[in-house]
Amino acid sequence: MREKIDELLKRVEEFSPRTAAELEEFRIRILGRKGELNGIMEEFKSVAPEMKRELGQSINKLKNRAQERFNELKNAVETAGDITAERSGNDLTRPGTAQPIGSRHPISLVRREICGIFERLGYTIAEGPEVEDDWHVFSALNFPPEHPARDMQDTFFIEKNPDILLRTHTSSIQVRTMQTQKPPIRVVCPGRVFRNEAISYRAHCIFHQIEGLYIDEHVSFADMKQSLLYFVREFFGPDTKIRLRPSYFPFTEPSAEMDISCNLCGGKGCNVCKHTGWLEIMGCGMVDPNVLEACGIDSNKYSGFAFGMGVERCSMLKYGVKDLRMYFENDIRFLHQFDTVI
């Protein structure tokens, strides 16, 4: 037993690790739960009573010294990591290993592309807060007080009276823009929006929107149609057709839902377009005069159009992604597929 203690103490004193890994190995082998020190303690239990006192003291000394030595070495390895690496024969001038660079998330790619198309048409990008008040999300946009979107089932409220909530659309940015800028106004508003929906392959409680607003004198529905046609041809391909169906939004009058010809089956009918040949991609319409007035713009002088689309939806159609949840899971196998898209 005595020899064992002395021998271990000698090894502890002489040990000089070159790397943090070697030191860790040393710690496990000697100080660890199943390490040599605990082995000695175990043996100590069966030592003759008259030897206990003397051997016990030596074991204690060894234990303290081993712990102390470990702490000293730890500091040394940490502060002089590079020097020890050099001593151990590592060539510090050797070229490093290349770190693979990540890729852009498909949502970022699509957002950039859509914003880029509108920027080329003279639009600027506007952003705004995700936590909003009732006025910017609903009241200024002509939502009547009893509108269902103001219900807890559709909207995440943070506070009630006064109502503070997570924006359900980026139209709130358009309100903020109208309040602070004078026409002509041309903005696209990208951002995250929140709706109290059950998560499934086609719906999520967080998603991304890009909405647009164009206000000037004599802006007509025909201007809107032509701008949107230009956009879809740029984004989905030059042969894309559009159709506008009458719809309703509190903030636009008249309002429409815009469909594009299905780019997967070429309009013949497939599962994605539910055999109609058409895909719904955005809501749009002429800004309601009530909205212009609420934001301090003279509705007798100015008119404008607005539109809004989901980035996930555009990305699904463009890249053939079948499940919306993929965008939020960050599975590397999914994300790597966008490596080559710049």
Could you list the residues that contact ligand PHE (CB under 6 A)?
A: 169, 171, 211, 249, 252, 283-285, 306-308
**95 CB-near residues (< 8 Å, 6+ apart):** none
Handedness of CA 194, 197, 203, 205 (dihedral sign): positive
Q: Which of 100, 81, 98 is nearest to 90 (CA)?
A: 81
Rounded least distance, CB 99 to ligand PHE, Å = 40
Q: Which is nearer to ligand PHE, 191 or 285 (CB)?
A: 285
Q: What is the dihedral of CA 288, 293, 295, 300, to 10 degrees?
A: 80
Helical (H) or strand (E) element with 79 = helix 49-79
CB nearer to ligand PHE: pick between 252 and 303:
252
- Pairing assessment for the beta strands 185-194 and 124-125 based on DSSP bridges: parallel
Beta carbon nearer to ligand PHE, 69 or 195: 195
* CB 217, min distance to ligand PHE, A: 20
CB of 325 to ligand PHE, least distance (A): 20
Residue closer to ligand PHE (CB basis): 24 or 257: 257
Nearer to ligand PHE, 37 or 210 (CB): 210
**Three-state DSSP class for residue 142:** coil
Q: Are strands 206-216 and 303-310 parallel, antiparallel or unpaired?
A: antiparallel
Nearer to ligand PHE, 62 or 215 (CB): 215
* Closest chain position to ligand PHE (CB): 308
Minimum distance from CB of 119 to ligand PHE (Å)?
A: 19
Can you tell me the distance from the alpha carbon of 107 to that of 124, in angstroms, rounded to the nearest whole number? Answer: 19
Q: How far is the CB of 98 from ligand PHE (least distance, A)?
A: 44
> C-beta of 331: minimal distance to ligand PHE in Å?
28
Specify whether the CB–CB gap between 113 and 106 falls below 8 A. no
